[in-house]
Structure 1
């Protein structure tokens, strides 16, 4: 299968994965033949794209490391504000990830505007767990990281929804209101004896920066708990690469550059390095342009996240790890490709 951005979608494409709405009903099932009307409605709802089956990509496998069913359960639990269900989903995320090594996030998120908030928390839980796994955490700590990440934005549910969902720039007072959500969540969860202090520390400090410029307490470096450092990286990456009504998403490569550039200032370097080993910068099935002008799709990711196997539109394959033949060939950043 391969991923098609909604702007490039065409009639008669065959859907390779189901598309869900904000309450997890199947809008379009696998095998659906896309029409102009379907595409128009999905674009209006903010869907960034979808996966299709065709001859060129029939042997390319793209598998989520956590099932869509479990992700949907997490979204539903968050929508209900059911903390017990959220914690159970977070623990099952760990179980599924541990059952599917080797681990690398290799799928584009299929998410619309109207379910961003809840799916963001599930995504951050999955990414944080994979980062923690690459940092060598044991199973108990993996589950704590997953729970902390799943609940990291729970404080936002207690904020003014008009401010939280405001499409335009926030005023200074509105921004200060938003900045209260980590402390609100931390205080709220104190009543739960089954939620450890380390889980709460991850939630409280997930907006703290290495140089002390973050919030709510301006913690610096080692004063920031490791769970929070992990969630911070996953949270920022998911926010940057998500399509929102008021912004276009970063390409994954751009988001990774931002994380790398922020090491020591915003982010912990070890956490960012573990993240880079956790995520496919160029996910399988996505379209790319090479520096010589040729175009194709990513057929597979190997050891180097910047040098995947590329399948051109005519079927020829180019392994960018082959330094003898393709040393000077690179993938053009998505923003540059648009300008070509």
Structure 2
């Protein structure tokens, strides 16, 4: 399979992956031909990239990080929480979260297990969904990324559980934000953005009153938009004033935001999203956390076309775990040999990836 921008796919291409909605219902089946109408629908729904079948890359696989069953369970649990929160009073919030606490802990435990058994660096591009509820998918993605960082930093089982629940609930305050602002397809006005920023405080106020929820989980909702140099919100705190978990979730949150498909903005590729994090390392984000994240994710996902520093062009075939910027490449064009061949960038140290072609 090859990862291709939906803007450049020609009608008649064959879909290389099944596309679901957020309930796990198949919308587009793997192997179907993509018509111009279907391609336009994908673009209208903010789907920037999909995998298509290609003869030279037919053996390349994009493996999902977590199972469809776990994704569906997580999404439904989060939907139940957000639905019940909407319009309910603060007293009722306690019963909603107490009822879901055990299920959230179980979900986090399963996600940790599936990340550990995944065997490759993490890429969420294998999981493409048509969804009308960005927050649900975002919450799950941020949880997966946060737990990957936490594992790379050698957090213990209890810390990973707290971090995972904090990540799942980090945007819980958005359940109380006006839907016209929350789902606005364009840029928010200054006034609307000030309202949006209150989701951190509202989320904290919901979570800190729950006997079944750890105080540090409440601070994940409160502090995930704080930044090391004090430029974040809601309080503008700095450095070690920000809880470890909130710093981790802040990194995961920004990465998923810039690499996710949105109706009003094309998603960045993972290598571009990582550049955003590195640009903010030291000032905005903890550099060690960014490094831990880099060592956990597939910067160049399987199936993405790349150009190398010696001008050879190829496709990423497999990942070298913990050397995420040095994958195995199938060379398709080198100006000399007509037959495709593979090189391992963990061994070809003088060769670098200089560009992604989508």
Whether these two folds match at TM > 0.5 is yes
Judge which range, 199-208 or 25-34, deviates more: 25-34
How far apart are the structure 2 equivalents of 1:197 and 1:332? 45
Task: Give the aligned partner of residue 93 of structure 1.
Answer: 111
Length-normalised TM-score, structure 1 = 0.89
- Deviation by residue 1:283-319 (Cα, 9 ceiling, x = unmatched): 1111222344443210112243222221133522233
Say whether residues 1:331 and 2:353 are aligned partners: yes
| Correspondence 1:124-163 to 2 at 5 A | 124-163=142-181
Contact 2:296 2:324 in 1 (8 A): no
* Structure 2 SS opposite 1:114: coil
Task: Give the aligned partner of residue 184 of structure 1.
Answer: 202
| Correspondence 1:52-91 to 2 at 5 A | 52-81=52-81, 83=97, 84=100, 85-91=103-109
Task: Give the aligned partner of residue 250 of structure 2.
Answer: 232
The match for 1:270 among 288, 300, 304 is 288
* Structure 2 SS opposite 1:237: helix
Say whether residues 1:304 and 2:316 are aligned partners: no
How far apart are the structure 2 equivalents of 1:38 and 1:118? 24
The match for 1:245 among 263, 266, 269 is 263
Distance 1:12 1:246, change over 3 A: closer
Task: Give the aligned partner of residue 342 of structure 2.
Answer: 317
The match for 2:134 among 116, 140, 160 is 116
Contact 1:107 1:284 in 2 (8 A): no
* Structure 2 SS opposite 1:124: helix
Runs of 4+ residues over 4 Å off in structure 1: none
**Structure 1 residues not aligned, in runs of 5+:** none
Task: Give the aligned partner of residue 91 of structure 2.
Answer: none
Distance 1:308 1:169, change over 3 A: same
How far apart are the structure 2 equivalents of 1:287 and 1:112? 24
Task: Give the aligned partner of residue 218 of structure 2.
Answer: 200
How far apart are the structure 2 equivalents of 1:244 and 1:173? 22
C-alpha displacement of 1:22? 4.1
How far apart are the structure 1 equivalents of 2:246 and 2:220? 4
* Structure 1 SS opposite 2:40: helix
Distance 1:248 1:45, change over 3 A: closer
Contact 2:248 2:289 in 1 (8 A): yes
C-alpha displacement of 1:143? 1.5
Contact 2:44 2:263 in 1 (8 A): no
How far apart are the structure 1 equivalents of 2:151 and 2:133? 27
Task: Give the aligned partner of residue 35 of structure 1.
Answer: 35
**Structure 2 residues not aligned, in runs of 5+:** 83-96, 333-338
* Structure 1 SS opposite 2:234: coil
Task: Give the aligned partner of residue 190 of structure 2.
Answer: 172
How well do the aligned residues superpose, as a CA RMSD in angstroms? 2.3
Aligned length: 332
- Deviation by residue 1:159-199 (Cα, 9 ceiling, x = unmatched): 01111222232222211111111110111123321111111
Contact 2:48 2:266 in 1 (8 A): no
Distance 1:165 1:70, change over 3 A: same
